[in-house]
Amino acid sequence: MKIISSPSRGAALVGPGYFRGLNEESLAAAKILYGDPQPGNDRQFDLWRAMSLQGTTPAS
């Protein structure tokens, strides 16, 4: 599990098959468990979300 963040998307907790947007209160609790968020831009945030929910496919 990892916390991700971007300036306009906010913060979220992601993991294999898991995505959960975080408000300020839940972000504070998640930081205790998972550490500081991985900062990124909006495009990176979208990619992290897609990979956590859809996974990746092996190269042919």
Q: What is the pLDDT of residues 29-60, one digit of tens each?
A: 999 999 999 999 999 999 999 998 887 766 65
Residue type, 8: S
Q: What is the C-alpha separation between 27 and 37, in angstroms, rounded?
A: 9
Nearest to 25 by CA among 15, 14, 11: 11
pTM for this structure? Answer: 0.83
Which pLDDT belongs to residue 13?
95
Q: With contact defined as beta carbons under 8 Å apart, do 15 and 53 qualify?
A: no
Question: In which residue are the tokens 């979208």 written?
Answer: 46
